[in-house]
């Protein structure tokens, strides 16, 4: 019975992530350089990473400048503008015909 429930839970979780097309999760770790209501800046090596945040962003405690943090984020498109086919791609299509 316990094994059946575990299997059912695992299958449900797998199917739900497929149905919603879960975005890939990324992370960056480093000291906080700046923090505001809408953004946090983290130093990773020689690069500065600015990550947007909003009221839905979860944090464990108050984040302050100098704290070492790990930020989990996803990349999602906010808009897509089609410019048509690339010139090289259009010529290849014509040659195939």
- CB proximity list for 1: less than 8 A, separation 6 or greater: none
Q: Determine the Cα–Cα distance for residues 42 and 70; give it in Å rounded to an integer.
A: 9
Give the model confidence (pLDDT) of 22-78 as tens digits.
789 999 999 999 999 999 999 999 999 999 999 999 999 999 999 999 999 999 888
Please give the model's pTM, rounded to 2 decimal places.
Answer: 0.60
- Domain 23-77, CATH among 3.30.750, 1.20.1560, 2.60.120, 2.40.50: 2.40.50
Comparing 33 with 96, the larger pLDDT belongs to: 33
Could you tell me which residues are beta bridge partners of residue 73?
Answer: 26
């Amino acid at each position: 019975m316990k094994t059946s429930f575990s299997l059912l839970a695992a299958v449900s979780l797998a199917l739900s992530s497929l149905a919603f097309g879960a975005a890939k999760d990324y992370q960056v770790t480093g000291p906080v350089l700046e923090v505001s209501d809408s953004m946090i800046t983290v130093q990773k090596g020689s690069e500065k990473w600015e990550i947007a945040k909003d009221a839905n962003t979860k944090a464990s405690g108050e984040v302050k400048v100098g704290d070492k943090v790990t930020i989990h984020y996803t990349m999602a498109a906010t808009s897509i503008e089609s410019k048509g086919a690339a010139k090289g791609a259009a010529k290849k299509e014509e040659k195939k015909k």
